[in-house]
Structure 1
Amino acid sequence: MSPQISNNIRSLRRRAGLSQEELAAAAGLSTTTVGKIEQGGSVRMETFARLAHALGVDTEALFASGSPHPVPDDKGNGRYLLALRRQLMPPIGLVDATATSVTVASRADLERQIDAAHTHYHADEYDEMARCLPGVLAGTQAALFAAEDDASRQAMLSTHARAQLVTGKYLTQVRQYDLAYQALSAGIRDARAAEDQITAAVGVIGLCWLLLRQDRFSEAQELAVTTADVVEPRMSTATPGQLAAWGELALRIASAAVRNNRAEDARDARRMAASAASALGRESSNFRTHWGTFGPATAAVKTIEDLSLKRDARGVLRDSDQGPLATAALRRLGRPSPSSWNRHRLDVVRAHALLGSHQDAMDELTGLRIEAPEWLKHQSIARQLMQDILKRRRRTLTKDMRLMASHLGISG
């Protein structure tokens, strides 16, 4: 952890007139933990949130403004995604580069290619995404340049925006945040230029997800709030796409607020999401109008995520198979997207681990390794949970534990 973060926490504690023992008691932590944090020990987001709550500040107030720690060996990632980098970050000089010849496909064909990219994404086929997306971006760009009138240009701007947004979705998932920002921001601008409000809103939902992953909670919340105000639908006449976009923005507001120690804002946003989900009636998946699957079950798993962040393990396990998440309800209402459902299962893993039920936690993790192996590799929380299980294990590791540690790249 950056020394600046440690200094921020120490300074806020002293300003509040608290000793380390008093801060630890208020945050539900041990005095030893608080001492280690102030000496630069590593901290998880849930611990930041508990410290912020105890200190009466936004979680962001704890974060540093200094330079990041040096990365021991990051050169490997630079070798990947070269074709995407060329599309999103072309070299710019004093003379325009010579245009390359690209066959101009029909808009319908390009839309099918974007749909196929989404299929790869939800199947966790990330290598296939890296291979297909440069061609999709080049194809939509070529068709945009070839548009012969304003109407066809407006239509192609929307299609090009969607190509950039699915690219940004993939890049955020694999934690290439700077590239993801390039794709998402360009997609939002193109959708706005095309006067395609829903597609632009979908891009904002993605950008809020990116900001959340960078711990930029206030910015994510403010962006989602202002966008939700613009696109708020009339429930009686709204299309599924409008309801889903508004509901997904409410989920982003809540996720940012709960992480930033703004519980009341989070509760209000969860109510907004529940209203949109209720108006939809069941899970809805249409990636031409939604960022992801949205409906009653998705709203429910995101509410359980709040309980997980508060370390309410019994609450997570209690609610994980009730209401919209009961087996019969899931059959009737539909399931969340694979990534949302799998993320929910990691919350269940955490709950079991907190209660000391390590075999139950391993059973859930093993199921994820079998069903979504590539997705699981990109989840830092999975590595953290597995490291906790290994740290507390007193007996010889089971075969599943050894396989999971190897799969997640955990050594030692």
Structure 2
Amino acid sequence: MQHASSGLGENVRAHRRTAGLSQEQLAHDAGLSVSVVRKIEQGGQARVETLHAVARALGTTTADLFASDAPGPVVGDESNRQMLAELRRALMPPVGISETMASPGEAESLPELHRRIDDGHALYHADRYDSVARMLPGLLRAAEAAAVNAPEGEEQQRAQIARAQALLLAGKYLTQLRQYDMAYQALAEGIRWARETGQTLSAATGVIGMCWLLLRQDRFEESERLAVATAAQIEPRFSSASPGELAAWGELSLRIASAAVRNNRPDEAVEARRMAATAASALDQEHVDYRSHWTTFGPITAELKAVEDLAVAGDARGVLRRADEGVLGPRALRKCGKPSSNNWDRHRLDVAKAHVTLGSTQDAMEELGRIKRTSGHWLKHQPMARYVMSDLLKSRKRTLTRDMREMAAHLEVHA
């Protein structure tokens, strides 16, 4: 994500002067060039990873550097609006004074609804985003019809639970596609339905997704506070907790750590990583059950996210040192099971970024190529992939290879 704001520049300048630093000193402490610091203070654009480095050097939180300002114009979103029109109608129907103008769906049996929700998760994790997009409008309408038409009592409650799970699936998909306002609507409604039916674990799953959404929007403090509060509410008794309860609590701990490290709160991040590692150790292997928690969780996932902290901190050598060793080595992967494809691919993007930082462009290209072969559509939606490719092209002194040209075209990065 990038920020362009005169308010941002003013904030950085004010914090720098309060710290008694020149632009040259700030650039040195942050590991940046003087031209980057000067550009930020003059109102230019900066990657959020650059702002993490500036915040660390200034001894403040990343969020303190952000500023409220008029956003730039939205350009080029017309095709997404058209592609998502049907899903938007199903998720966000017009609301009038006396009625909600929703298109009614046909109720389905609860087993059929649950089967379709499970199929949706499988398609999502198989990188079949087009198929998920086609199925979601009908699924949401069918889940709503089932909840509205079910007779009062246990059957109605089960139908409402299915509706909550359909909404959470929609929220997961839309967050991944960076359709944040629609994702918020889906997650908020899913959490509300789960909460009203007494499904605390399902509601917590929605909160995990909400924290991810807030993190994606650089709302680090809110993401951390929400995850902390929810983790305290569902903290399991380890001697009797189910795998789903341990996984949900562990995932919330990961969200706490991810928000804290990005907001330059390293002590809080370390403690949260310890909590996540405790939950992962209790599971002993990767656990998958999308009805009870957000994604795959276990020792591998906890370690992937710990390595991600090193990437956020700019420790490229640390990333490469731990990327394929110990818990992330082949033997451990065979023993503990594979993490979700999204988490694994995000980790390999961190590895590619580390290679570029250290000047190993061929190694970076090999990582990007492997991700493209297995998760090409996912890769297109990752700003980090475009940043890595952009930096690779800038550092390339010789003529681009065919693989580089094809990857640049795939990511829509201009050489």
Normalised-by-shorter TM-score class: over 0.9
Work out whether 1:81 is the aligned partner of 2:67: no
In the aligned structure 1, how far is the partner of 2:113 from the partner of 2:248? 23
In the aligned structure 2, how far is the partner of 1:397 from the partner of 1:97? 55
Among 218, 222, 230, which residue is 2:221 paired with?
Answer: 218
In the aligned structure 1, how far is the partner of 2:106 from the partner of 2:314? 54
In the aligned structure 2, how far is the partner of 1:107 from the partner of 1:176? 28
Work out whether 1:246 is the aligned partner of 2:249: yes
1:41, distance to aligned residue in structure 2 (A): 2.8
Find the residue that maps to 1:43 and give its secondary structure: strand
1:97, distance to aligned residue in structure 2 (A): 5.5
Letter in 1 for 2:321: R
Structure 2: give runs of 5+ residues left out of the alignment: none
Among 99, 106, 111, which residue is 1:108 paired with?
Answer: 111
Check whether the contact 2:287–2:298 (CA below 8 A) recurs between aligned residues: yes
Aligned to 1:4: 7
Work out whether 1:67 is the aligned partner of 2:88: no
Work out whether 1:27 is the aligned partner of 2:30: yes
**What are the Cα deviations for residues 205-237 of structure 1, in whole angstroms up to 9, with x where unaligned?**
000000000000000000000000000001111
Work out whether 1:410 is the aligned partner of 2:403: no
In the aligned structure 2, how far is the partner of 1:211 from the partner of 1:383? 21
Write out aligned runs for 1:86-105 (5 A). 86-96=89-99, 102-105=105-108
Write out aligned runs for 1:12-411 (5 A). 12-96=15-99, 102-411=105-414
Residues 98 and 44 (structure 1), Cα distance of their counterparts in 2 relative to 1, 3 Å cut: closer
Residues 52 and 250 (structure 1), Cα distance of their counterparts in 2 relative to 1, 3 Å cut: same
Q: What is the TM-score normalised by the length of structure 2?
A: 0.97
Residues 176 and 101 (structure 1), Cα distance of their counterparts in 2 relative to 1, 3 Å cut: closer
Check whether the contact 1:244–1:290 (CA below 8 A) recurs between aligned residues: yes
In the aligned structure 1, how far is the partner of 2:233 from the partner of 2:105? 38
Find the residue that maps to 1:384 and give its secondary structure: helix
**What are the Cα deviations for residues 257-316 of structure 1, in whole angstroms up to 9, with x where unaligned?**
000000000000000000000000100011111100000000000000000111111111
Residues 313 and 189 (structure 1), Cα distance of their counterparts in 2 relative to 1, 3 Å cut: same
Check whether the contact 1:174–1:378 (CA below 8 A) recurs between aligned residues: yes
In the aligned structure 2, how far is the partner of 1:275 from the partner of 1:129? 34
1:106, distance to aligned residue in structure 2 (A): 1.1
Find the residue that maps to 2:296 and give its secondary structure: coil
Structure 1: give runs of 5+ residues left out of the alignment: none
Check whether the contact 2:95–2:101 (CA below 8 A) recurs between aligned residues: no
Check whether the contact 1:161–1:186 (CA below 8 A) recurs between aligned residues: yes
Q: What is the TM-score normalised by the length of structure 1?
A: 0.98
Check whether the contact 1:233–1:246 (CA below 8 A) recurs between aligned residues: yes
Find the residue that maps to 2:46 and give its secondary structure: coil
Find the residue that maps to 1:135 and give its secondary structure: helix
In the aligned structure 2, how far is the partner of 1:281 from the partner of 1:411? 44
C-alpha RMSD of matched pairs (Å): 1.2
Find the residue that maps to 1:238 and give its secondary structure: coil
In the aligned structure 1, how far is the partner of 2:87 from the partner of 2:102? 17
1:150, distance to aligned residue in structure 2 (A): 2.3
Letter in 2 for 1:34: V
